[in-house]
Chain A
Amino acid sequence: MAPVIQKKKSVASKDDIQKDFMEAINLSISSYKSQVRNNKKLRLIDIFATMLVVIGVFQTAFVGLIQDNYPFNAFLAGFIICVGQFVLLMCLRLQLTHPFEGISKSKAFGEFVVASLILHFTCLHFIN
């Protein structure tokens, strides 16, 4: 979630609000670090998610660069698969950090795999 927090920095205008924001961001980052430090699975998920964000941004930048989105479906499929996989990863992450009742961690992972397969199949189909 780190990349999303970065955007927030530019938001503050007044001094005290800015201070609040800085404090909030610092606290979040530190607690995030402590959460991740001893959990390899979460670190793996986060690295994957960051990679997806990078790929998504790269694709958009590429389309912006060549000023043309001709096979629009292909671009869309590529972009949506990044967003979709990112979101699914976040869902899995939420379930791993605070498991819901009735869904064990391994079950959550299994469901995540099924959903990702469906997502990948449709996106591949959409790319043509």
Chain B
Amino acid sequence: MSEIAEKIVVPDTAVTANENDTTTQKDGNCVSWIQSSLKTLIFIAIIIASISSRLFAVIRFESIIHEFDPWFNYRATQYLVNNSFKDFLNWFDERTWYPLGRVTGGTLYPGLMTTSAFIWHALRKIGLPVDIRNICVLFAPAFSAITAYVTYKLTCELKDEKAGLLAAAFIGIVPGYISRSVAGSYDNEAIAITLLMATFMFWIKGLKQGSILNSSFAALCYFYMVSAWGGYVFITNLIPFHVFCLILMGRYTSKIYVAYNTWFVIGTIASMQIPFVGFLPIKSNDHMAALGVFCLLQIVALGDFIKAKISEKKFKVIMWVSIILIMIGGIAGLFLLTYLGLIAPWTGRFYSLWDTNYARIHIPIIASVSEHQPITWPAFFLDTHFLIWLFPAAVFLMFMDLKNEHVFIIVYSVLCSYFAGVMVRLMLTLTPVICIAGAVALSKLFDIYLDFSPIFSTKKTGTTKSSVMTVLTRALVSASFIYYLYLFVHHCTWVTQSAYSSPSVVLPSQNRDGSMAIIDDYREAYYWLRMNTDYDAKIASWWDYGYQIGGMADRTTLVDNNTWNNTHIAIVGKAMASPEEVSYELLKEHDVDYVLVIFGGVLGFGGDDINKFLWMIRIAEGIWPEEVKERDFFVNQGEFRVDSQASQTMKKSLMYKMSYHGFPDLFPNGQGQDRVRQQVVTAADVEDLDYFDEVFSSENWLVRIYKLKDLDIEGRDLSDFAEFEKSKNTKRSSNKRPEIDLRV
């Protein structure tokens, strides 16, 4: 990656070259030609850097879709490519959320799938039939290149092209953005950040010029954004808030009126075209701010018209009276409408933004997702490196200029810093503004300290000593910052390759001798399901694996990552947390054929179902507080244990039995060493499974699949039957033994 490092440092030196060129201004024509060709060169370098640093995953592993949500997007894209667009919008998916099904076409953001299907068709038209999987895998890196360009344009509006180039280079390789846009991470965010930047870019342009056209483009980008990501609400609130701030600062001009109203009117009606959004823009309170500012602007425009005609003193009286009356009317109207149920109450996700504990108390399903947790301090540094401490300085510098567009960046950074502190995933929206602000600050610094022109003008003015000192300090400061830039590139490359380039479907590990080994248990298990089970078999698993089972095994699932129905998820949670006989009844009621659990005890894989078990219990407890109690799963000291001290409820629960079924037998003397929880599980702890048969355990026991036994022909209870069988024949079937000490 060192070559990329060099390429990234190129902008700074090139920028200074540009700057020195402009100061001389001898033959302008030649210089401008050199400038533009240098700029093109820098851009090509940035694009190569931003794409290639996202390809670690493909090179290390293979061209594969990552994680969980991308598998659904991939499946939906396949559906779109194989069917018409109309079928796609009307898609009712009966193979998820069994037996409810999901109105998939009406509950997804189609922007991502439509774009990749469009690319697929376009490439076929020009004679390049590319596999849809490869398009999906390489989608995010390609769009990151566009993001770099759009960010450049946006930063140009804020300062100048030098800052723009820096911002483009930053956004191209910053880990905070790479985290969601490596090759294979085929998620909504991959396209959404590009559109976010594009919307803001056109918005700033429209605001600066008062141009209807640019604002219309902003609205179209906004529409595209709405079609791609639920995070569009951020734009819906940020732009009105910006305008509101400008009005409060007394900066109202006709340009603001033109830009905002054009954006709002076209953007709102366009966003309603997305089936999933529907009438939300006029009903949900999340969108009310935009509507409110729209009305406010009309009044302010009228006031502006009147203000020009009458004396200032009289206008003040009129203004205050009108403002008070309008505020009273507006608030009363809002309350009345909410009270009458005409507009939706504030949604839970909205509350969880303000009160970090809201989700934990009221909606365990939201809190259980790791990306909804508050961010930790090191994560800021990990994701943005030295930009994070340039960021406050940059916001301060914005205050020094404080034009309308600077107000925008200030508002954006303040809001987003807060929200990123509440939810990890919103770090993604904070990262672009950190890059932009950092680039502006750095280029301001370089403007001063990278300017070595005093060397050439010393003879005319001042003593040589002071000029030497000036040059020395300048050289020192710029050298240290260029070194920081080098470190930044180094850090970005390192973080990208170590933290963000794992597909999490395939796990990397090391053999004893240090060579790389790939743990491919997930795919092994899903492939087993695909090959060995009936096409209509229903698989129960925790919701995390729903999309993967749907995408890779092509089997019907009970719950998946869409999490639209809390009760249905609680059913699975209850089944996992209950004793065998209760779970069996429950699962039979839901027609389940197989149960799949993820068990990391053999491998030492921390993200397994036992570690997620508490969330299952909590979610189930939310629906059936009488039958599932979180307290019962802890030992007396309030600990969550799995060894011989574990509580009886824990040991009896289906999840425990399934995870540790046959586990102690793997080890000498039946002393099963759980590598995740560092506890010993003995054969005496693990009771037999009477209602389920183990049908498959993957190579490292990461995925274990159990089949529900059929009802007994003679109508006996299955546990009685098992007792009977055991007394008849004491021989136990031997489990296959994975080589457990193979990997470190």
Contacts and interface: CB of A to CB of B under 8 A. Distances in A.
B210 interface: yes
B268 interface: yes
B314 interface: yes
B418 interface: no
B402 interface: no
B648 interface: no
Interface in A73-108: 73, 76-77, 80-81, 83-84, 87-88, 90-92, 94-95, 98, 100, 102-103, 108
B269 A27 contact: no
Interface stretch (A36-44, A47-55, A58-66, A109-117): A109-117
Contact of A118 (B216, B314, B321, B322): B216
A17 B318 CA distance: 7
Contacts of A122: 266, 269-270, 273
B126 interface: no
A89 to B, nearest CB: 10
Given A103-B209, A115-B212, A126 B269 contact: yes
Nearest to A91: B258
Contacts of B219: 118
B262 A87 contact: yes
A98 B305 contact: no
A1 B261 CA distance: 16
Q: Give the residue among B220, B262, B268, B302 with the most A Cβ atoms within 10 A.
A: B262
Interface in B191-213: 209-213
B279 A108 contact: no
B216 A114 contact: yes
Interface residues of B, number: 38
B309 interface: yes
* Interface size class, chain A: 35 or more
A76 B282 contact: yes
Contact of B310 (A5, A23, A98, A119): A23
A91 B314 contact: no
Contacts of A114: 212-213, 216
B279 A4 contact: no
A86 B219 CA distance: 17
B331 interface: no
Given A8-B322, A24-B309, A100-B255, A119 B269 contact: yes
Given A77-B269, A94-B257, A126-B272, A115 B210 contact: no
B213 A100 contact: no
Interface string B206-234: 00011111011001100000000000000
Given A27-B309, A77-B269, A94 B216 contact: no
A111 B273 CA distance: 23
Given A31-B309, A100-B209, A115-B216, A11 B321 contact: yes
A1 B268 contact: no
Given A1-B305, A23-B314, A115-B216, A95 B210 contact: yes
B211 A103 contact: yes
A76 to B, nearest CB: 7
B740 to A, nearest CB: 60
Given A90-B301, A103-B211, A24 B269 contact: no
B420 to A, nearest CB: 33
Contacts of B301: 90, 94
A100 B257 CA distance: 12
B306 interface: yes
A17 B314 CA distance: 9
A96 B309 CA distance: 19
B684 interface: no
B216 A95 contact: no
A20 B313 CA distance: 10
Given A91-B212, A100-B209, A102-B209, A28 B268 contact: no
A103 B254 CA distance: 13
A5 B302 CA distance: 8
Q: Give the residue among B268, B305, B317 with the most A Cβ atoms within 10 A.
A: B305
Interface in B331-350: none
Contacts of A17: 317-318, 321
Given A21-B318, A76-B282, A115 B209 contact: no
B325 to A, nearest CB: 6
A73 B211 CA distance: 29
A69 to B, nearest CB: 11
Contact of A115 (B213, B282, B318): B213
A84 B266 contact: yes
Given A91-B258, A119-B269, A20 B314 contact: yes
Contacts of A84: 265-266, 269
Contacts of B213: 110-111, 114-115
25 contacts: A11-B321, A17-B321, A20-B314, A21-B318, A24-B309, A24-B310, A90-B257, A91-B257, A91-B261, A92-B212, A94-B254, A95-B254, A100-B209, A100-B254, A110-B213, A114-B216, A115-B212, A115-B262, A118-B216, A118-B220, A118-B266, A118-B270, A119-B266, A123-B269, A126-B273
7 interchain residue pairs of minimum CB distance: A84-B265, A111-B212, A111-B213, A91-B258, A94-B254, A100-B210, A87-B261
Interface of A: 1, 4-5, 8, 11-12, 17, 20-21, 23-24, 27-28, 31, 72-73, 76-77, 80-81, 83-84, 87-88, 90-92, 94-95, 98, 100, 102-103, 108, 110-112, 114-115, 118-119, 122-123, 125-126
